[in-house]
Amino acid sequence: MSVELYDVVIIGGGPAGLATAYLCHKHGLSYLVLESGKAVFQGIANTYPQGKLVYPSKPKDAPEPFLIEELRPPDKPVTVESYLQYIQHFVQHENLNIRTEVAFEDIRDERDGLVVVTDKGLFKGRKVVLAFGSSIPRELSVYGDAKMVAKNVEDPSKFVGLKTLVIGGGNTAADVVIAILKAKREMHDTQPVYWAHKSEKFDVNKETAQRLGEEILLGGNIRLLPGATPRIGEVDNEGVDRLVIRINEFKQADNIDLYHALSFPMQNVIACIGSQGPVPIFDKLGIQTISCTAGVCKVAKEGDRLVLLTADFETTRKGVYVMGGAISPSYMKICEGAIQEEKHPNLIYTAINDAYHVVQGIRQKLGKA
Ligand SMILES: Cc1cc2nc3c(=O)[nH]c(=O)nc-3n(C[C@H](O)[C@H](O)[C@H](O)COP(=O)(O)OP(=O)(O)OC[C@H]3O[C@@H](n4cnc5c(N)ncnc54)[C@H](O)[C@@H]3O)c2cc1C
Protein backbone atom coordinates (compact mmCIF):
# COMPACT_ATOMS: atom_id res chain seq x y z
CA MET A 1 0.00 0.00 0.00
CA SER A 2 1.48 3.40 -0.91
CA VAL A 3 1.76 6.07 1.76
CA GLU A 4 0.80 9.69 1.00
CA LEU A 5 3.82 11.97 0.79
CA TYR A 6 3.44 15.29 2.66
CA ASP A 7 5.82 18.22 2.33
CA VAL A 8 6.04 18.30 6.13
CA VAL A 9 5.13 15.80 8.85
CA ILE A 10 4.97 17.53 12.23
CA ILE A 11 5.37 15.57 15.46
CA GLY A 12 3.49 17.15 18.38
CA GLY A 13 0.47 19.44 18.41
CA GLY A 14 1.62 21.96 21.03
CA PRO A 15 2.28 25.66 20.32
CA ALA A 16 5.37 24.79 18.21
CA GLY A 17 3.70 22.07 16.13
CA LEU A 18 0.45 23.96 15.67
CA ALA A 19 2.26 27.16 14.62
CA THR A 20 4.23 25.12 12.07
CA ALA A 21 1.00 23.57 10.76
CA TYR A 22 -0.70 26.95 10.46
CA LEU A 23 2.20 28.44 8.48
CA CYS A 24 2.39 25.38 6.20
CA HIS A 25 -1.36 25.75 5.63
CA LYS A 26 -1.02 29.48 4.87
CA HIS A 27 1.86 28.95 2.44
CA GLY A 28 0.37 26.02 0.55
CA LEU A 29 2.67 23.28 1.85
CA SER A 30 1.01 19.91 2.39
CA TYR A 31 1.41 18.82 6.01
CA LEU A 32 0.12 16.55 8.75
CA VAL A 33 0.39 16.97 12.52
CA LEU A 34 0.70 13.77 14.59
CA GLU A 35 -0.23 14.32 18.23
CA SER A 36 -0.05 11.54 20.81
CA GLY A 37 -2.68 13.08 23.08
CA LYS A 38 -6.44 13.17 22.69
CA ALA A 39 -6.38 16.76 21.43
CA VAL A 40 -3.95 19.49 20.38
CA PHE A 41 -2.11 21.25 23.23
CA GLN A 42 -2.24 18.02 25.24
CA GLY A 43 1.16 18.83 26.76
CA ILE A 44 -0.23 22.09 28.15
CA ALA A 45 -3.51 20.47 29.24
CA ASN A 46 -1.49 17.83 31.16
CA THR A 47 0.99 20.13 32.86
CA TYR A 48 -0.76 23.43 33.69
CA PRO A 49 -2.67 23.46 36.98
CA GLN A 50 -6.41 24.12 36.68
CA GLY A 51 -7.22 27.83 36.34
CA LYS A 52 -3.60 28.84 35.66
CA LEU A 53 -3.24 32.11 33.77
CA VAL A 54 -1.37 31.93 30.48
CA TYR A 55 1.06 34.83 29.99
CA PRO A 56 2.30 36.10 26.62
CA SER A 57 5.82 36.16 28.10
CA LYS A 58 8.66 37.32 25.87
CA PRO A 59 12.31 37.37 26.96
CA LYS A 60 13.53 40.94 27.57
CA ASP A 61 16.43 40.68 25.13
CA ALA A 62 14.42 38.96 22.34
CA PRO A 63 14.56 41.10 19.19
CA GLU A 64 11.44 39.78 17.46
CA PRO A 65 7.77 40.34 18.29
CA PHE A 66 5.41 37.32 18.36
CA LEU A 67 5.59 36.29 14.69
CA ILE A 68 2.17 34.59 14.60
CA GLU A 69 -0.35 36.89 16.25
CA GLU A 70 -3.18 34.36 15.90
CA LEU A 71 -1.58 32.02 18.46
CA ARG A 72 -0.26 34.63 20.86
CA PRO A 73 -1.83 34.40 24.34
CA PRO A 74 -3.82 37.61 25.01
CA ASP A 75 -2.09 40.56 26.78
CA LYS A 76 -4.66 40.36 29.55
CA PRO A 77 -3.88 36.83 30.75
CA VAL A 78 -6.70 34.29 30.42
CA THR A 79 -7.04 30.93 32.18
CA VAL A 80 -5.52 27.87 30.55
CA GLU A 81 -9.06 26.52 30.02
CA SER A 82 -10.05 29.60 27.94
CA TYR A 83 -6.79 29.52 25.98
CA LEU A 84 -7.30 25.82 25.18
CA GLN A 85 -10.87 26.53 24.08
CA TYR A 86 -9.66 29.33 21.81
CA ILE A 87 -7.05 26.98 20.31
CA GLN A 88 -9.69 24.30 19.61
CA HIS A 89 -11.82 26.88 17.76
CA PHE A 90 -8.77 28.09 15.86
CA VAL A 91 -7.92 24.55 14.69
CA GLN A 92 -11.51 23.98 13.56
CA HIS A 93 -11.81 27.37 11.89
CA GLU A 94 -8.56 26.94 9.95
CA ASN A 95 -9.38 23.28 9.29
CA LEU A 96 -5.83 22.22 10.18
CA ASN A 97 -4.79 18.70 9.25
CA ILE A 98 -4.21 16.93 12.57
CA ARG A 99 -4.31 13.31 13.68
CA THR A 100 -4.57 12.76 17.41
CA GLU A 101 -3.72 9.66 19.47
CA VAL A 102 -0.79 8.83 17.21
CA ALA A 103 2.55 8.43 18.97
CA PHE A 104 5.79 9.02 17.10
CA GLU A 105 8.44 6.30 17.39
CA ASP A 106 11.13 6.56 14.72
CA ILE A 107 12.22 7.92 11.33
CA ARG A 108 13.51 5.90 8.38
CA ASP A 109 15.15 7.25 5.27
CA GLU A 110 13.69 6.43 1.87
CA ARG A 111 14.67 7.56 -1.59
CA ASP A 112 11.92 10.17 -1.95
CA GLY A 113 11.46 11.23 1.68
CA LEU A 114 11.44 10.36 5.35
CA VAL A 115 9.16 7.65 6.71
CA VAL A 116 7.75 8.45 10.14
CA VAL A 117 7.08 5.32 12.19
CA THR A 118 4.26 5.60 14.75
CA ASP A 119 2.13 3.28 16.87
CA LYS A 120 -0.64 3.73 14.26
CA GLY A 121 1.43 3.02 11.15
CA LEU A 122 3.67 4.85 8.72
CA PHE A 123 3.53 8.43 7.40
CA LYS A 124 5.84 10.05 4.92
CA GLY A 125 7.23 13.57 4.62
CA ARG A 126 9.85 15.39 2.60
CA LYS A 127 10.71 17.10 5.87
CA VAL A 128 9.95 16.08 9.46
CA VAL A 129 9.55 18.65 12.24
CA LEU A 130 10.00 17.36 15.79
CA ALA A 131 7.89 19.54 18.09
CA PHE A 132 7.28 17.08 20.91
CA GLY A 133 8.19 19.42 23.77
CA SER A 134 10.57 18.83 26.62
CA SER A 135 8.79 16.23 28.65
CA ILE A 136 8.96 12.76 27.08
CA PRO A 137 7.45 9.87 29.06
CA ARG A 138 10.09 7.31 30.03
CA GLU A 139 9.84 3.87 28.41
CA LEU A 140 9.76 0.69 30.50
CA SER A 141 13.05 -1.11 30.07
CA VAL A 142 12.27 -4.81 29.92
CA TYR A 143 13.63 -7.72 27.94
CA GLY A 144 11.46 -7.82 24.81
CA ASP A 145 8.98 -5.22 23.68
CA ALA A 146 6.73 -3.15 25.98
CA LYS A 147 5.44 -0.65 23.42
CA MET A 148 1.78 -1.54 24.01
CA VAL A 149 1.98 -0.35 27.61
CA ALA A 150 0.11 2.98 28.05
CA LYS A 151 1.87 5.96 29.66
CA ASN A 152 -1.19 7.80 30.87
CA VAL A 153 -4.93 7.34 31.11
CA GLU A 154 -7.37 9.54 29.30
CA ASP A 155 -10.45 7.39 29.92
CA PRO A 156 -10.31 5.39 33.18
CA SER A 157 -13.60 3.65 32.38
CA LYS A 158 -11.68 1.65 29.71
CA PHE A 159 -10.24 -0.39 32.58
CA VAL A 160 -13.58 -1.30 34.15
CA GLY A 161 -13.94 -5.10 34.23
CA LEU A 162 -10.17 -5.63 33.87
CA LYS A 163 -7.47 -6.50 36.38
CA THR A 164 -5.28 -3.46 35.90
CA LEU A 165 -1.62 -2.87 36.66
CA VAL A 166 -0.26 0.63 37.33
CA ILE A 167 3.54 0.92 37.53
CA GLY A 168 5.32 3.83 39.25
CA GLY A 169 5.69 5.13 42.78
CA GLY A 170 4.88 8.84 42.57
CA ASN A 171 1.93 11.22 42.44
CA THR A 172 1.21 10.65 38.75
CA ALA A 173 0.90 6.89 39.26
CA ALA A 174 -1.24 7.48 42.36
CA ASP A 175 -3.56 9.79 40.40
CA VAL A 176 -4.01 7.10 37.75
CA VAL A 177 -4.74 4.49 40.44
CA ILE A 178 -7.31 6.82 42.05
CA ALA A 179 -9.02 7.57 38.71
CA ILE A 180 -9.32 3.86 37.84
CA LEU A 181 -10.50 2.87 41.34
CA LYS A 182 -13.17 5.58 41.12
CA ALA A 183 -14.34 4.47 37.65
CA LYS A 184 -14.52 0.84 38.85
CA ARG A 185 -16.40 1.82 42.02
CA GLU A 186 -18.96 3.81 40.04
CA MET A 187 -19.55 0.84 37.73
CA HIS A 188 -19.67 -1.68 40.65
CA ASP A 189 -16.60 -3.47 39.31
CA THR A 190 -14.71 -5.42 42.00
CA GLN A 191 -11.66 -6.35 39.88
CA PRO A 192 -8.52 -5.05 41.61
CA VAL A 193 -6.02 -2.40 40.59
CA TYR A 194 -2.47 -3.64 41.21
CA TRP A 195 -0.05 -0.84 42.01
CA ALA A 196 3.61 -1.78 41.55
CA HIS A 197 6.77 0.13 42.33
CA LYS A 198 10.36 -1.04 42.02
CA SER A 199 11.29 0.41 45.39
CA GLU A 200 9.83 -0.74 48.72
CA LYS A 201 8.40 2.70 49.44
CA PHE A 202 5.77 4.66 47.50
CA ASP A 203 6.35 8.40 47.47
CA VAL A 204 3.22 10.58 47.19
CA ASN A 205 2.28 13.92 48.70
CA LYS A 206 -0.21 14.29 51.54
CA GLU A 207 -3.08 15.55 49.43
CA THR A 208 -2.77 12.64 46.95
CA ALA A 209 -2.45 10.15 49.81
CA GLN A 210 -5.68 11.52 51.31
CA ARG A 211 -7.57 11.13 48.04
CA LEU A 212 -6.23 7.60 47.65
CA GLY A 213 -7.18 6.71 51.22
CA GLU A 214 -10.68 8.02 50.61
CA GLU A 215 -11.05 5.91 47.48
CA ILE A 216 -9.91 2.78 49.36
CA LEU A 217 -12.31 3.45 52.24
CA LEU A 218 -15.14 3.88 49.75
CA GLY A 219 -14.49 0.31 48.60
CA GLY A 220 -11.59 0.58 46.13
CA ASN A 221 -9.94 -2.78 45.58
CA ILE A 222 -6.20 -2.13 45.47
CA ARG A 223 -3.26 -4.57 45.72
CA LEU A 224 0.09 -2.96 46.50
CA LEU A 225 3.18 -4.53 44.95
CA PRO A 226 6.23 -2.80 46.50
CA GLY A 227 9.64 -3.99 45.29
CA ALA A 228 8.20 -5.30 42.00
CA THR A 229 10.24 -5.18 38.78
CA PRO A 230 8.86 -5.36 35.23
CA ARG A 231 11.00 -7.95 33.45
CA ILE A 232 9.74 -9.30 30.15
CA GLY A 233 7.50 -8.23 27.31
CA GLU A 234 6.27 -11.29 25.43
CA VAL A 235 3.53 -12.59 23.18
CA ASP A 236 1.57 -15.55 24.58
CA ASN A 237 0.16 -18.57 22.69
CA GLU A 238 -3.01 -16.65 21.87
CA GLY A 239 -1.07 -13.76 20.39
CA VAL A 240 -1.70 -11.45 23.37
CA ASP A 241 1.15 -9.05 24.28
CA ARG A 242 1.87 -9.55 27.96
CA LEU A 243 4.08 -7.92 30.56
CA VAL A 244 5.72 -10.12 33.18
CA ILE A 245 6.47 -8.40 36.46
CA ARG A 246 8.47 -10.06 39.25
CA ILE A 247 6.88 -9.38 42.60
CA ASN A 248 9.56 -10.95 44.80
CA GLU A 249 12.82 -12.82 44.45
CA PHE A 250 14.51 -15.30 46.76
CA LYS A 251 18.23 -15.87 46.40
CA GLN A 252 19.03 -19.55 47.08
CA ALA A 253 22.30 -20.93 48.38
CA ASP A 254 22.65 -23.17 45.30
CA ASN A 255 22.64 -20.09 43.04
CA ILE A 256 19.22 -20.93 41.63
CA ASP A 257 16.85 -18.00 42.08
CA LEU A 258 13.27 -18.52 43.06
CA TYR A 259 10.77 -15.79 42.22
CA HIS A 260 7.08 -15.05 41.91
CA ALA A 261 5.81 -13.13 38.92
CA LEU A 262 2.51 -11.87 37.54
CA SER A 263 1.75 -11.63 33.84
CA PHE A 264 -0.70 -8.98 32.62
CA PRO A 265 -2.05 -8.35 29.13
CA MET A 266 -0.17 -5.17 28.15
CA GLN A 267 -3.40 -3.39 27.34
CA ASN A 268 -4.25 -3.58 31.07
CA VAL A 269 -0.97 -1.90 32.06
CA ILE A 270 -0.15 1.78 32.57
CA ALA A 271 3.44 2.82 33.32
CA CYS A 272 3.78 6.22 35.01
CA ILE A 273 7.52 6.15 35.54
CA GLY A 274 8.31 9.81 34.97
CA SER A 275 9.58 11.79 32.06
CA GLN A 276 12.94 12.54 30.52
CA GLY A 277 14.41 15.14 28.19
CA PRO A 278 14.52 14.38 24.46
CA VAL A 279 18.24 13.45 24.28
CA PRO A 280 17.56 9.65 24.21
CA ILE A 281 15.28 10.25 21.21
CA PHE A 282 17.94 12.34 19.46
CA ASP A 283 20.39 9.47 20.04
CA LYS A 284 17.95 6.94 18.65
CA LEU A 285 17.39 9.10 15.56
CA GLY A 286 21.11 9.67 15.01
CA ILE A 287 20.80 13.42 15.61
CA GLN A 288 24.07 14.92 16.79
CA THR A 289 24.36 16.56 20.21
CA ILE A 290 27.36 18.25 21.81
CA SER A 291 28.39 17.87 25.47
CA CYS A 292 28.98 21.11 27.30
CA THR A 293 32.34 21.67 28.89
CA ALA A 294 32.94 24.09 31.73
CA GLY A 295 33.40 27.71 30.63
CA VAL A 296 31.92 27.15 27.14
CA CYS A 297 28.21 27.05 27.98
CA LYS A 298 26.45 29.85 29.81
CA VAL A 299 23.00 28.29 30.19
CA ALA A 300 23.68 24.55 30.13
CA LYS A 301 25.68 22.81 32.85
CA GLU A 302 28.88 20.88 32.31
CA GLY A 303 28.06 17.49 30.76
CA ASP A 304 24.60 18.54 29.46
CA ARG A 305 24.11 17.46 25.88
CA LEU A 306 22.79 20.10 23.50
CA VAL A 307 21.39 19.43 20.07
CA LEU A 308 23.30 20.88 17.14
CA LEU A 309 21.11 22.99 14.81
CA THR A 310 21.36 25.30 11.82
CA ALA A 311 19.85 28.81 11.97
CA ASP A 312 16.56 27.41 10.64
CA PHE A 313 16.53 24.55 13.21
CA GLU A 314 17.59 21.70 10.92
CA THR A 315 19.44 18.93 12.76
CA THR A 316 22.47 17.01 11.52
CA ARG A 317 20.02 14.45 10.15
CA LYS A 318 19.06 15.93 6.81
CA GLY A 319 15.42 17.01 6.53
CA VAL A 320 14.73 16.59 10.25
CA TYR A 321 14.05 19.77 12.26
CA VAL A 322 13.58 20.20 15.99
CA MET A 323 12.11 23.18 17.80
CA GLY A 324 10.14 24.63 20.72
CA GLY A 325 10.35 23.13 24.20
CA ALA A 326 12.33 20.16 22.81
CA ILE A 327 15.43 22.35 22.47
CA SER A 328 15.05 24.46 25.63
CA PRO A 329 16.70 25.92 27.63
CA SER A 330 19.56 26.10 25.10
CA TYR A 331 21.00 24.45 21.99
CA MET A 332 24.14 24.65 19.86
CA LYS A 333 23.71 26.87 16.82
CA ILE A 334 25.82 26.54 13.72
CA CYS A 335 26.38 30.08 12.54
CA GLU A 336 28.83 31.27 9.86
CA GLY A 337 31.06 28.26 10.30
CA ALA A 338 31.15 28.53 14.12
CA ILE A 339 29.18 26.73 16.80
CA GLN A 340 27.87 28.59 19.80
CA GLU A 341 25.40 27.99 22.61
CA GLU A 342 22.09 29.75 21.97
CA LYS A 343 19.71 30.61 24.80
CA HIS A 344 16.20 29.30 24.15
CA PRO A 345 13.73 29.90 27.01
CA ASN A 346 10.87 27.40 27.15
CA LEU A 347 7.98 29.74 26.30
CA ILE A 348 5.02 29.84 23.94
CA TYR A 349 6.77 32.82 22.33
CA THR A 350 9.91 30.83 21.41
CA ALA A 351 7.85 27.82 20.25
CA ILE A 352 5.78 30.00 17.90
CA ASN A 353 8.68 32.03 16.56
CA ASP A 354 10.77 28.89 15.92
CA ALA A 355 7.93 27.70 13.70
CA TYR A 356 8.22 30.86 11.62
CA HIS A 357 11.94 30.27 10.96
CA VAL A 358 11.51 26.54 10.37
CA VAL A 359 8.78 27.05 7.76
CA GLN A 360 10.78 29.83 6.05
CA GLY A 361 13.74 27.42 5.80
CA ILE A 362 11.61 24.54 4.53
CA ARG A 363 9.88 26.71 1.91
CA GLN A 364 13.25 27.75 0.54
CA LYS A 365 14.60 24.21 0.49
CA LEU A 366 11.49 22.88 -1.23
CA GLY A 367 11.53 25.77 -3.71
CA LYS A 368 8.15 27.01 -2.48
CA ALA A 369 9.20 30.38 -1.00
C1 LIG B 1 3.08 24.78 34.49
C2 LIG B 1 3.59 25.55 33.29
C3 LIG B 1 3.18 26.84 33.08
C4 LIG B 1 3.63 27.56 31.96
N5 LIG B 1 3.16 28.84 31.75
C6 LIG B 1 3.55 29.51 30.65
C7 LIG B 1 3.03 30.83 30.36
O8 LIG B 1 2.21 31.38 31.11
N9 LIG B 1 3.47 31.46 29.22
C10 LIG B 1 4.37 30.88 28.36
O11 LIG B 1 4.74 31.51 27.36
N12 LIG B 1 4.86 29.64 28.59
C13 LIG B 1 4.47 28.94 29.70
N14 LIG B 1 4.95 27.67 29.92
C15 LIG B 1 5.85 27.06 28.91
C16 LIG B 1 5.07 26.64 27.64
O17 LIG B 1 3.93 25.87 27.99
C18 LIG B 1 6.00 25.81 26.73
O19 LIG B 1 7.09 26.62 26.39
C20 LIG B 1 5.29 25.38 25.43
O21 LIG B 1 4.17 24.58 25.73
C22 LIG B 1 6.26 24.61 24.53
O23 LIG B 1 5.56 24.27 23.37
P24 LIG B 1 5.94 22.97 22.48
O25 LIG B 1 4.95 22.92 21.40
O26 LIG B 1 7.37 23.02 22.15
O27 LIG B 1 5.79 21.74 23.50
P28 LIG B 1 4.49 21.15 24.23
O29 LIG B 1 3.55 22.22 24.61
O30 LIG B 1 5.04 20.26 25.28
O31 LIG B 1 3.79 20.28 23.09
C32 LIG B 1 4.33 19.08 22.66
C33 LIG B 1 3.21 18.19 22.14
O34 LIG B 1 3.78 17.01 21.57
C35 LIG B 1 3.04 15.89 21.97
N36 LIG B 1 3.93 14.72 21.95
C37 LIG B 1 4.90 14.39 22.83
N38 LIG B 1 5.50 13.25 22.47
C39 LIG B 1 4.90 12.85 21.34
C40 LIG B 1 5.05 11.72 20.48
N41 LIG B 1 5.96 10.78 20.72
N42 LIG B 1 4.25 11.62 19.39
C43 LIG B 1 3.32 12.57 19.11
N44 LIG B 1 3.12 13.65 19.89
C45 LIG B 1 3.91 13.80 20.99
C46 LIG B 1 2.55 16.24 23.38
O47 LIG B 1 1.38 15.52 23.72
C48 LIG B 1 2.28 17.73 23.27
O49 LIG B 1 0.95 18.04 22.92
C50 LIG B 1 4.53 26.96 31.05
C51 LIG B 1 4.94 25.63 31.26
C52 LIG B 1 4.48 24.93 32.37
C53 LIG B 1 4.93 23.50 32.58
SS3 191: coil
Atom of ligand 1 nearest to the CA of 54: 8
Q: What radius of gyration do the chain's Cα atoms show?
A: 23
Question: How far does the centroid of ligand 1 lie from the alpha carbon of residue 155, in Å?
Answer: 21
Which of 47, 348, 357 is the best mutation target for the ligand 1 pocket, counting ligand atoms within 8 Å of the beta carbon and taking the most? 348
- What is the atom index within ligand 1 of the atom nearest the CA of 57? 11
Which numbered atom of ligand 1 lies nearest the CA of 132?
A: 34
pLDDT band at 18 (very low <50, low <70, confident <90, very high): very high
Q: Please name the fold of domain 143-271.
A: FAD/NAD(P)-binding domain (3.50.50)
pLDDT per position as a tens digit, 167-207: 999 988 999 999 999 999 999 999 999 999 999 999 999 98
- Tell me whether residue 49 is exposed, middle or buried, using C-beta atoms within 10 angstroms of its C-beta: 0 to 12, 13 to 18, 19 or more: exposed
Q: What's the angle, vertex CA 77, arms to CA 71 and CA 78, rounded to 5? A: 80
How far is the centre of ligand 1, averaged over its atoms, from the C-alpha of 42 (Å)?
8
Ligand 1 within 6 A of CB of 204: no
Q: Say how many Å lie between the CA of residue 220 and the centre of ligand 1.
A: 34
Atom of ligand 1 nearest to the CA of 118: 42
Share of the chain above pLDDT 70, in %: 100
Dihedral sign computed on CA atoms, order 23, 26, 31, 35: positive
Residues 6+ apart with CB under 8 A from 134: 277, 278, 325, 326, 328, 346
Q: Whose CA is nearest to atom 35 of ligand 1?
A: 12
Give the Å distance between the CA of 275 and the centre of ligand 1. Answer: 13
Instruction: State residue 21 phi and psi, 5-degree precision.
Output: -60, -45
Peptide bond into 329 cis (omega under 30): yes
Decide whether any atom of ligand 1 lies within 6 Å of the 194 Cβ.
no
Domain residue extents for the chain = 5-135+309-325+343-365, 143-271
Q: Please give the pLDDT value at position 41.
A: 96
Identify the sign of the CA torsion 123, 129, 131, 134: positive
111-159 pLDDT per residue, tens: 989 999 998 999 999 999 999 999 877 888 888 888 788 887 878 999 9
Class of domain 5-135+309-325+343-365: alpha beta
Using DSSP's 3-state secondary structure scheme, residue 365 falls into helix
User: For residue 135, which atom of ligand 1 is closest to its CA?
Assistant: 30
Residue pair 13/40 in contact (Cβ under 8 Å)? The answer is: yes
Closest protein CA for atom 19 of ligand 1: 347
Answer whether 5-135+309-325+343-365 and 143-271 agree in fold. Answer: yes
